[in-house]
Amino acid sequence: MTVLETKGLTKQYRKITALNNLNFYIEEGMIFGLLGPNGSGKTTTLGLILNVLKPTSGSYKWFEQAPSAESRKKIGAILEIPCFLPYMTAVQNLEVIATIKECSLSHIDRVLELVGLTDRKDDPFKTFSLGMKQRLAIGAALLADPPVLILDEPTNGLDPQGIVEIRELIKEIAASGKTIVLASHLLDEVQKVCTDFMVLRKGEKLYQGSVKEALSDQVTLEVASPDMTLLTEAFSDFTGLKKVERKNGVLVLTPENGVTTSTISQHLLEREIVLSHLVTKEGSLEKQFLKLLDQE
């Protein structure tokens, strides 16, 4: 099922075009990363699809239907810095939000357990760390159990431990079957969390696709053997490689699509060559991102 689809979505502020003719889609179950430098249109995009902003032109659909009050209830979102009453406890803050959202107070214990704040539920919000505040905000967004969760820079300002906690929480929420839209400038985090991503620059889409496919041409295999000369010769007639290089005592292989460690192992086994080293090196989303931004 297509959870979200936009067609020609455009937002102008007088002479400034914040978003230009944006077309993209998000399928059910995706962890979708929205990437781009500052001013690329990430927050504008989120504002438009949440009906916080009105488009200059273009349209979008939620759950394959025109946006409505009913469809908005199916979306949990955090667009700004979490805003809670500092003197109230976590439970009290969530009670206020549950009342506003007209959802059962019985959901509060469930979301506190999910975001790992059960043991701090009766402590004032002002005593929470930044990471705990962010986790409480995610819990608040999940109170009505929406199928879609939208997060704008959820790890912004967090220390390394806080980033890891939010990353693992996002994975856990996604594993429960929810679709997640994540705007971020932390490429390493997007690579570790997201299944798919889109890159924006100056309000225009540069790329959309799966993280796995985007990095497939960057994967390399490192192999080594007691007899490196014989190992090198073994690949002279192997057609499944784009490149073979010798670096730091190992052979670095750049494989064609479909060539895996199993393929390489079988090829060498047939030639009675024993490996002492076989490692797969994954690609970097940062390299792909910078490559896309360099496009004219």
Per-residue pLDDT at 191 exceeds 90 = no
- CA gap 68, 147 in Å, rounded: 15
If one counts the domains in the chain, the total is: 2
- Residue identified by tokens 């214990």 is 109
What is the predicted pLDDT for the residue at 107? 92
| Phi and psi at residue 270, to the nearest 5° | -65, -20
Confidence of residue 295 (pLDDT cuts 50, 70, 90): low
The overall average pLDDT reported for the chain is: 89
The CATH number given to whatever domain includes residue 176 is 3.40.50.300
Residues 186 and 268 in one domain: no
The fraction of the chain above a pLDDT of 90, given in percent, is: 52
Query: Among positive and negative, which fits the CA dihedral 208, 209, 212, 215?
Result: negative
Per-residue pLDDT at 285 exceeds 80 = no
Per-residue pLDDT at 69 exceeds 80 = yes
Mean predicted confidence (pLDDT) in 44-72: 93
- CA gap 129, 132 in Å, rounded: 5
Residue 127 forms part of a structural domain: yes
Confidence of residue 296 (pLDDT cuts 50, 70, 90): very low
pTM of the model: 0.80
Each residue's pLDDT tens digit, 131-173? 999 999 999 999 999 999 999 988 888 888 888 999 999 999 9
Residue 36 forms part of a structural domain: yes
The least confident of 12-26, 55-69, 268-282 is 268-282
Q: Closest by alpha carbon to 19, among 201, 183, 198?
A: 201
Structure tokens, 95:
């009670």
Residue 296 forms part of a structural domain: no
- CA gap 157, 155 in Å, rounded: 6
Mean predicted confidence (pLDDT) in 85-102: 93
Q: Closest by alpha carbon to 120, among 130, 112, 110?
A: 112
Q: Where is the domain boundary, 195, 214, 233? A: 214
What is the predicted pLDDT for the residue at 45? 95
- CA gap 187, 17 in Å, rounded: 25
Q: Where is the domain boundary, 157, 190, 214? A: 214
The CATH number given to whatever domain includes residue 278 is 3.30.70.980
Residue 186: Cβ within 10 Å count: 20
Residue 226 belongs to domain spanning: 219-286
Q: Closest by alpha carbon to 124, among 84, 154, 78, 159?
A: 84
Per-residue pLDDT at 249 exceeds 90 = no
Q: Closest by alpha carbon to 135, among 94, 104, 176?
A: 94
Mean predicted confidence (pLDDT) in 250-269: 85
Residues 195 and 223 in one domain: no
Per-residue pLDDT at 287 exceeds 60 = yes
